[in-house]
Structure 1
Amino acid sequence: MPRKVLQLDGGFNFRDLGGYPSAQQTTVKWHRLMRAAHLANLTAADCQQLEDLGFKLVVDLRSTAEAQQFPDQLGPQMRRIHLPVFDNDETESAASTAQIQRLFARDPLGGYHRMLRVYRRLVTSPQAQQAYHELFALLLATQGKTGVVFHCSAGKDRTGMAAMLILRALGVPPQRVIADYLLTNSASTAHIAQRVAAVAPGPRQQNFQQSVRDLASVQLDYYQQAMGLIDYEYGGMTAYLRDTLKLTATDEQKLRHWYLA
């Protein structure tokens, strides 16, 4: 059985979506879909490992500023396509400790509330909707013939939403999708700890520290914020995929043919 979480020297939260069961008594193919954090620190050996597994296409969901500041490191056989979900890093995944402190030092729930707003925007923003529409178009264009890595800065929010949408389009049951979403926390343990540890200790830092933790991790509340909005404002996931992301029934059948086994 291939490993769900890929261990890389210069990357974290790299997770193969292979192996998840679908409602059609099939499973998602291994080494076709990889969700990930940024690729800016990948080593040559990391890139070779991805290429050896068949991952040749990288889809960068970060803003232009993030991508320019921390450019992806790619192997010679890998190509990158940029599909920014937002114009800036609304998730604060790439923000400095000082920037986060200015925004969230006073309120222990500041980071938590920020993330709830982000997940509403992931569903309702026209730019996010267009990015996810184009991501599906790329998956259809590749026909499952090459592995696709899609990523943002921490691989949890913009990437997390992409994974939710893809898995649901492939017929993976919601409980499995939730489990994949929450796996971010255990796959990013060192990264989350590093972000929290960057907060200077002190009696007045607890609010700030809690916000940093909420910004650096995922919670079921964030997932439910997005799914609840899709259910109540868009008529459910099937309607959202068809009417908002323009994924036709034929498109869905093709995706299941190419990405399920």
Structure 2
Amino acid sequence: MRQFDMQVIPFEAVYNFRDMGGYKTKDGRFVKDGLFYRSAALGKMTTADKEQFETLGIKTIFDYRDDHEAQSNPNPIFLNTKYIQIPAKGNHAFEMPTNAEKTMGRQNFYKVINPDMFRDFYAQMPFNNASFKALMATIQQPENLGLVHHCAVGKDRTGIGGALILLALDVPEETIMQDYLDTNIHLRPMVERMTQAIQHDFNDKELQQFHALMSAREDYLQAAFNEMDVRYGSKATFLEQEFALTKEKREQLQAYCLS
């Protein structure tokens, strides 16, 4: 099994791009490399980034952003690659930070939205969400893999999507949590640059709130895990009821994706 930091694929202008392979499942198998990737937005790719991307064998780009976000920073076009873009924000009232300038202003987002609201956002996201339903249907078709799923920074919507994929593959929750928390390492340069840009307009409390919202925090993803158990009693029942992932379908998925 590879160490977590060895899963990162370095790009010049794409953050947080990682192969989700190498994780050990509860029965001792491992997620195969090259089937699932998670990332921040791909739109700023350099020529060298595009050349590297094309070596990865990615057949599907699954984008959790809404239309405004995607139009503001569109995905690069690759031949023979399927594009799926379905907003994963769900029914939550607030806009995502990358989209907030059209309503409250991006800086005001970090001043108005607090961590308690973000925990609630995570707790609601996995349920009755058309984007994640499409994701879980997509990954059951081997011809769609390798697949990269992404949002704006690859933390929140991608964090839930990654958790769902790994749950379906029977990866332990503590491993899934570590995969999520590793985002903090790979987004650090971006967060530091953003901090430099806003620090003169934010007081100390507002800066603390900004960092809380820009962090992958255990209590955020745990809120989603807890809600799955509250609503369904178990993760297996959650996967079956929300995504029609029966035991048999999960076994079929695992047979293809694990070694």
Compute the TM-score of the two structures, normalised by the length of structure 1: 0.88
Q: Given the alignment, which residue of 212, 221, 224 partners 2:222?
A: 224
Q: Given the alignment, which residue of 118, 126, 131 partners 1:123?
A: 126
CA contact (8 A) 2:110 2:213 kept: no
The unaligned stretches of length 5 or more in structure 2 are none
Match of 1:42 in 2: 45
Distance 1:150 1:245 in 2: 17
- What is the identity, as a one-letter code, of the residue corresponding to 2:187? S
Q: Which moved more, 1:65-74 or 1:12-21?
A: 65-74
Query: Alpha-carbon deviation of 1:169?
Result: 0.8
Query: Alpha-carbon deviation of 1:8?
Result: 0.3
- What is the identity, as a one-letter code, of the residue corresponding to 1:70? N
Q: How does 1:1-261 map to 2 (within 5 A)?
A: 3-86=6-89, 90-95=95-100, 99-105=105-111, 110-124=113-127, 126=128, 128=129, 130-141=130-141, 143=142, 146-201=145-200, 205-261=203-259
Query: Alpha-carbon deviation of 1:117?
Result: 2.2
Distance 1:76 1:43 in 2: 17
Alignment RMSD (CA, Å): 2.2
Distance 1:159 1:189 in 2: 17
Give the 3-state SS of the residue equivalent to 1:8 in structure 2. Answer: coil
- What is the identity, as a one-letter code, of the residue corresponding to 2:8? V
Distance 2:148 2:66 in 1: 17
Compute the TM-score of the two structures, normalised by the length of structure 2: 0.89
Distance 2:238 2:131 in 1: 14
- What is the identity, as a one-letter code, of the residue corresponding to 1:33? F
- Equivalences, count: 252
Change (3 A) 1:102 1:145: closer
- What is the identity, as a one-letter code, of the residue corresponding to 2:222? Q
Change (3 A) 1:93 1:119: farther
1:105-156 deviation line (CA, Å, top 9, x unaligned): 3x7xx431231121122133x2x2x221211111112x16731000111101
The unaligned stretches of length 5 or more in structure 1 are none
Distance 1:226 1:23 in 2: 20
Identity %: 29
Distance 1:92 1:11 in 2: 18
CA contact (8 A) 1:60 1:81 kept: yes
Change (3 A) 1:35 1:222: same
Distance 2:149 2:109 in 1: 29
Query: Alpha-carbon deviation of 1:78?
Result: 2.6
